[in-house]
Structure 1
């Protein structure tokens, strides 16, 4: 006698959203993973710069112990007889080179200074993450010795500390300017694509006018309008804000073109028939369709603003002393002339960080573009 078994119900098909599929594809992109890793390290070093750097970005000595253009400190882990020991540096002696007429710095092996970790420096307090008062540095040496992992600049300031602090501005300015451009581009492009008519014509003519303005000429003009004694940080943020305000045109054009086709789709017509307001239709039903483009565009716009800030600071119309950015640090190398670059190659280290930030964002942009492209999905 056989017994009948109840039929089993089929397993429900699990579906994934577009963004889940794109994220899975993105994580398979090797260059994108490298880009995210590099950006993560750069942003972490900028966020925790006060803790990671042994000195503040403006700290230097004004007496005879100042070491201008000092080479990177050599950190030793072996004594002169070859025994392993904790990291240490030797003292430094200044000698005048009669051939080049500049100071040379040689190690004084009679003075040994161990490298200490989690060093308190009450004379140089800071706020970690802008909130937590602290005075502890990750590493340092006892006075009167100094440790310069990447050498010093013309005033004897620590290049390692200034590069870390410079990343705070160079990295954040790209995010801020891009955020302003994207918000304006999505808002005005969405209005133009939805309402059409004279509003569309007005916004598109405004985009054409802004795209015809030469950026460099505008920046030089704006910089000349500010008094010389104004805070340079305020000037730089104002200039970047102006650039962001005139840089939203490309995003607005693309969003407009996408919304012109989306406006006639059935779900948009249904939302209008149900009495949904125009603002709700644009923000909840139409603009989300442009998010894949916006995500990719953001990853490509950010490095352009990083390069723009670096170029402005390098030309002297961006961020200037006493503040530090990667472009401003490169300007110090330019002011030193060819001798500064050939004899002191460590002054070019900020350029390496600019290259890493830009190429990392490009890798991330390539990964996002491939992730949202159905033809390249694996």
Structure 2
């Protein structure tokens, strides 16, 4: 009679590898498999770098204007040797203007003979503080002759560079998204965690308040609150007021999500063990429950930022949000309300709209990828 060793369960190498990995490495590995989210991550990083270094990237300041070039079309750039002693380099073609005194229309045509040399980190004549620390006037890409016209994406009715204004507006629009989400994050997590953990009367009161906020129509409520702001407030005060208003309305969905997760986690063994060990309720929430929600919260925040950006853009577009001299994407889109201006200069609508669409799509795709990767054991890790 032959003796056979007891059969051993066949292990899955993928599951064994997943068990040996940390939760953070598993989340990153699953996130990298989400191709669209991975690309969106780099797009979001690029957009925020543009916002951080806006003063260097923008060829001109947000308010700089040139009355001689209203509604100037985007200039074409060429890398060539003009052969007139200026040497090879990067050049922008100049304009030839024709003004119709009857229709008052100004027509621009490219002048192949007029070339303006561009340079990297050239002096622009407009001083600013780099990152608020170093005073300089250097620009990443600008004409060597500071007085030469340079409109990479066209100009508006006052001859202001649209590219520079969109770059400066990136800082305002994206910072409102971050600050607004940070404030709504604190409110949503606090109320959701308290409702899910204590339940009973606390849960009932918080849920009724949440339902009242969720039942209100969002856009009319934003318009009413924004219209109630005093018109004698300064631009910076209005900026922070709009941020607070958006935050006070945008916490409801996050609160509901946190409440549901806390209701599930409060009965887990490690939470019960902490309670039996004498830990206070707030310590259990802070040290044991909320850390388990970190990945979910990050994904929710990433999805909430584009909603804040769109809210600010909508209010500013309607004239109820930020106002000049503050420059944001919504403020820039105000000029697109005039159909005659759009027909004359379509880049007034296209350029700010493209910035809004690209940023919101990238943030949404990034949020989807983070949400899918938040559960690292939800699928096989290859």
| Same fold at TM > 0.5 | yes
Give the aligned partner of residue 105 of structure 1: 108
Asked whether the 8 Å contact 2:300–2:371 carries over to 1, the reply is: no
Change beyond 3 A, Cα 1:110–1:19: closer
Give the aligned partner of residue 351 of structure 2: 349
Asked whether the 8 Å contact 1:174–1:305 carries over to 2, the reply is: yes
In the alignment, structure 1 residue 195 sits paired with structure 2 residue 198: yes
TM-score by length of 1: 0.88
In 1, distance between residues paired with 2:380 and 2:169? 38
In the alignment, structure 1 residue 58 sits paired with structure 2 residue 72: no
Give the aligned partner of residue 243 of structure 2: 240
Once the 2 structures are TM-superposed, how far is the Cα of residue 55 of structure 1 from its aligned partner?
0.6
In 1, distance between residues paired with 2:57 and 2:297? 34
In the alignment, structure 1 residue 159 sits paired with structure 2 residue 174: no
Once the 2 structures are TM-superposed, how far is the Cα of residue 140 of structure 1 from its aligned partner?
2.0
Change beyond 3 A, Cα 1:293–1:110: closer
1:65-113 CA distance string (max 9 Å, x none) = 5311111122233356799821223443432136753112334566543
Change beyond 3 A, Cα 1:80–1:255: closer
DSSP-derived class of the 2:63 partner: coil
Give the aligned partner of residue 125 of structure 1: 127
**Number of aligned residue pairs:** 361
In 1, distance between residues paired with 2:110 and 2:36? 42
Once the 2 structures are TM-superposed, how far is the Cα of residue 183 of structure 1 from its aligned partner?
1.6
In the alignment, structure 1 residue 293 sits paired with structure 2 residue 296: yes
In 2, distance between residues paired with 1:255 and 1:112? 59
Once the 2 structures are TM-superposed, how far is the Cα of residue 52 of structure 1 from its aligned partner?
1.1
1:166-197 CA distance string (max 9 Å, x none) = 10011111111111112211111111122222
| Stretches of structure 2 lacking an aligned partner (at least 5 in a row) | 1-15
DSSP-derived class of the 2:90 partner: strand
1:312-341 CA distance string (max 9 Å, x none) = 111111112111111211111223x1x322
DSSP-derived class of the 2:267 partner: coil
Q: Which moved more, 1:24-33 or 1:258-267?
A: 258-267
In 1, distance between residues paired with 2:112 and 2:40? 42
In 1, distance between residues paired with 2:147 and 2:128? 22
Q: Which moved more, 1:26-35 or 1:252-261?
A: 252-261
Give the aligned partner of residue 43 of structure 2: 38
Asked whether the 8 Å contact 2:37–2:365 carries over to 1, the reply is: yes
DSSP-derived class of the 1:121 partner: strand
Asked whether the 8 Å contact 1:232–1:320 carries over to 2, the reply is: yes
Change beyond 3 A, Cα 1:111–1:292: closer
In the alignment, structure 1 residue 318 sits paired with structure 2 residue 321: yes
| Stretches of structure 1 lacking an aligned partner (at least 5 in a row) | 1-11
1:223-262 CA distance string (max 9 Å, x none) = 3333323223422431231221232122112212222232
Query: What is the alpha-carbon root mean square deviation over aligned residues?
Result: 2.4
In 2, distance between residues paired with 1:174 and 1:342? 31
Pick from 229, 251, 254: which aligns with 2:254? 251
In 1, distance between residues paired with 2:272 and 2:256? 23
In 2, distance between residues paired with 1:101 and 1:230? 38
Q: Which moved more, 1:95-104 or 1:235-244?
A: 95-104
Change beyond 3 A, Cα 1:21–1:143: closer
TM-score by length of 2: 0.87
DSSP-derived class of the 1:242 partner: helix
